[in-house]
């Protein structure tokens, strides 16, 4: 039975030593696991020494086994103190050094004294029955110097009490469990060893049974830590998976943005961006890592940008339109929206920039297409009108021509037939009247007949005309200012033609400013009362009037390559 129990103690101790030795090997900072591994290994060795002492046949052999036992006990004491120091961290260092020093002195005395520190002399060996098995015990003269070793056990108990109390006060829960259990087993070990060595108890030394209790308690506590570590590792792994999913989602959001998307810190350092950012700016991913947001803009735009950034950080968001400077130093107009966010407790700005050049190019292209369609429609209308006019006038003119030629032939006779000549002249008059009717019909179409008068607010005329010309004005970056006098009277007019006149003047102003810099196109609209009349004014800072300004109201006179020269002529006709 003794062999089975002590073999089980050794096997259990070595198993625990291997587990926690592997923990230390994988994580060298886990010094508590290293101390536990040394203690468990020493406990297994102590169990083997105790089996050896219980089966010796001579005093000399017993002395050798006891010498090995004392070395292992020294290792256990040192590793136990080290475990408390590294695992609990609450023991006093001077007490720990005192325990280790006193146990080391005892080990030194054990090898210098004959036969050892426990006995001055060994008289005989005798056999007793222990746990159903015959074992050997020793009889001899106890050595008083064994108190050095026993005093080290007392100091060890004091060290454990101090570490437990300090840990409990500091709120370290495990100090109460570990310290108390170790103290109980150390006290029991001290008592049993004291009575055996002083020959007051006929039993062999069974210190390994007490130390394996300490090993089991310490191993259980370390196992709980390992379980908690495994749970934490699993939670960490799950959190890492969630963070990976969140990162993928964030990446997808960044990449799906319709423009360049980026994140920068309070000092302007770019910390994240999407591929559209690299495409719009021309900078690579490596270059973007060391960039600041201010490097993407002109120096003269930075004061405005700094104000916008400050407003975004203080109010939460801001929008502005500014030129972005690419890596090749070309500028591209962008519309930026910036929103304040918190990243790891620090304020950042998320910015999204939309390239306006493509939108403006599309708007300009659409306007050009509309203009071309209008020109085609105008040409088609003029062609249809001219065809109709030619068709309507051709017949009466042909009648007039043929009758005039017939009259000429009659007049060449010596005696012309006056009755026939009179009929020819009547036909010419009829054809002429028909041609005049055709021309009147055309005039009616162009003049729209009688005007439909209604009450008109002066400011409404400008607003309606500006609404109709909005696309042209925006595509040309025209800055509009209005100056409308107060208390202007309501007047009666045919609204549609007057609006058409103002619209025509606004479009002419846009055309006149076409060669201006996009940032220097200004249109000024004003209306005031002047000696019983309302004066509407449309002013621009364009190229000005041609050298012969008197001809601008002539029909079919145009200064534009694609113009028909009818706009101002028709406008003057409408106003008159």
- Quick: pLDDT tens for 201-231: 888 988 888 888 888 888 888 777 777 777 8
In degrees, to the nearest 5, what angle opens at C-alpha 401 toward C-alphas 397 and 405? 170
In 3D, which of 549, 552, 554, 524 has the Cα closest to residue 536?
A: 524
Q: Is the pLDDT of residue 41 over 90?
A: yes
Q: Provide the residue ranges of all domains of the chain, joining segments of one domain with +.
A: 2-231, 258-356, 359-447, 454-544
Grade residue 100 by pLDDT with cuts at 50, 70 and 90.
very high
Strands, DSSP E only, in 9-68? none
Phi, psi of 140 (to 5 degrees): -170, -170
Tell me, what's the pLDDT at 7? 92
Return the percentage of the chain with pLDDT > 90, whole number: 14
Which fold is adopted by the domain 359-447?
1.20.120
Taking residues 511-536, report their average pLDDT. 85
Q: For 451-497, what is each residue's pLDDT tens digit?
A: 667 888 888 888 877 876 776 788 788 888 988 888 888 888 877 77
- What CATH number should be reported for the domain whose range is 2-231? 1.20.1070
Question: Given this model, what pLDDT does residue 79 score?
Answer: 92
Q: According to the model, what pLDDT value does residue 371 have?
A: 65
The residue ranking higher by pLDDT, 475 or 305, is 305
SS3 category, 128: strand
pLDDT, tens digit, 9 for 90 and up, residues 416-456: 777 777 777 777 777 677 567 656 655 655 555 566 678 88
Position 224 scores a pLDDT of: 77
**Over the stretch 332-352, which tens digit does the pLDDT of each residue have?**
888 898 899 988 889 999 888
pLDDT value, residue 380 = 47
Give the model confidence (pLDDT) of 358-371 as tens digits: 777 666 776 666 66
Fold of 454-544: Heat Shock Protein 90 (3.30.565)
Q: What is the mean pLDDT of residues 555-565?
A: 56
> 258-356: what fold?
Beta-Lactamase (3.30.450)
Q: Is there a contact between 9 and 43 (Cβ–Cβ < 8 Å)?
A: yes
| Predicted structure pTM score | 0.47
Quick: pLDDT tens for 377-413.
455 455 545 554 554 565 567 667 777 777 777 777 7
Question: CA-CA-CA-CA torsion for 328, 333, 335, 336, nearest 10 degrees?
Answer: 30
* Structure confidence by residue, pLDDT tens digits, 43-56: 999 999 999 999 99
Separation between Cα atoms, residue 530 and residue 194, nearest integer Å: 128
Query: Poorest-confidence range of 227-241, 280-294, 417-431?
Result: 417-431
């Amino acid at each position: 039975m003794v062999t089975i129990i002590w073999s089980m103690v050794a096997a259990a101790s070595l198993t625990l030593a291997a587990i926690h030795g592997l923990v230390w090997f994988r994580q060298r900072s886990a010094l508590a696991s290293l101390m536990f591994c040394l203690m468990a290994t020493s406990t297994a060795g102590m169990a083997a020494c105790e089996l050896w002492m219980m089966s010796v046949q001579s005093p000399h052999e017993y002395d050798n086994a006891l010498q090995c036992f004392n070395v292992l006990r020294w290792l256990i004491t040192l590793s136990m103190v080290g475990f408390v120091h590294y695992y609990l961290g609450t023991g006093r260092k001077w007490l720990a050094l005192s325990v280790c020093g006193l146990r080391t002195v005892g080990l030194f005395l054990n090898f210098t004294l004959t036969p050892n520190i426990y006995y001055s002399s060994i008289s005989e060996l005798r056999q007793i029955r222990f746990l159903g098995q015959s074992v050997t015990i020793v009889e001899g003269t106890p050595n008083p110097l064994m108190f050095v070793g026993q005093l080290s056990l007392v100091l060890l108990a004091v060290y454990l009490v101090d570490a437990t109390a300090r840990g409990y006060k500091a709120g370290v829960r495990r100090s109460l469990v570990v310290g108390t259990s170790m103290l109980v087993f150390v006290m029991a070990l001290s008592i049993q060893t004291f009575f055996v060595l002083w020959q007051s108890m006929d039993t062999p030394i069974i210190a390994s049974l007490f130390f394996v209790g300490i090993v089991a308690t310490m191993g259980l506590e370390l196992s709980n830590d390992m379980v908690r570590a495994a749970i934490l590792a699993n939670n960490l792994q799950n959190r890492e998976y969630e963070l990976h999913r969140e990162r993928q989602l964030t990446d997808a959001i960044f990449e799906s943005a319709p423009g360049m998307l980026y994140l920068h810190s309070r000092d302007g350092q770019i910390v994240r961006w999407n591929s559209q950012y690299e495409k719009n700016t021309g900078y690579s991913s490596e270059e973007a890592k060391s960039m600041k947001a201010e490097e993407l803009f002109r120096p003269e735009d930075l004061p405005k940008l700094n104000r916008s950034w400050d407003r975004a950080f203080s109010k939460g968001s801001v929008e502005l339109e500014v030129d972005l400077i690419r890596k090749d130093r070309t500028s591209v107009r962008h519309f930026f929206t910036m929103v304040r966010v918190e990243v790891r407790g620090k304020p950042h700005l998320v910015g999204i920039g939309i390239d306006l050049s493509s939108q403006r190019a599309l708007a300009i292209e659409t306007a050009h297409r509309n203009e071309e369609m209008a020109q085609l429609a105008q040409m088609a209308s003029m062609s249809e009108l001219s065809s109709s006019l030619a068709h309507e006038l051709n017949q009466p003119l042909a009648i007039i021509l043929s009758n005039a030629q017939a009259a000429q032939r009659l007049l060449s006779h010596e005696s012309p037939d006056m009755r026939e000549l009179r009929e020819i002249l009547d036909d010419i008059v009829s054809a002429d009247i028909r041609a005049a009717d055709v021309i009147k019909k055309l005039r009616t179409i162009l003049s729209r007949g009688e005007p439909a008068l209604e009450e008109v607010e002066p400011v409404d005329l400008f607003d309606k005309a500006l609404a109709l010309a909005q696309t042209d004005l925006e595509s040309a970056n025209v800055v509009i200012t209005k100056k409308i006098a107060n208390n202007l009277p309501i007047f009666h007019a045919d609204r549609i033609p007057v609006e058409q006149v103002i619209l025509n003047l606004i479009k002419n102003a846009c055309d006149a400013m076409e060669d201006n810099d996009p940032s220097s196109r200004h249109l000024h609209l004003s209306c005031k009362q002047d000696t019983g009349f309302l004066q509407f004014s449309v002013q621009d800072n364009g190229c000005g009037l041609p050298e012969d300004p008197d001809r601008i109201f002539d029909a079919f006179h145009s200064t534009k390559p694609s113009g028909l020269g009818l706009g101002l002529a028709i406008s003057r006709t409408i106003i008159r």
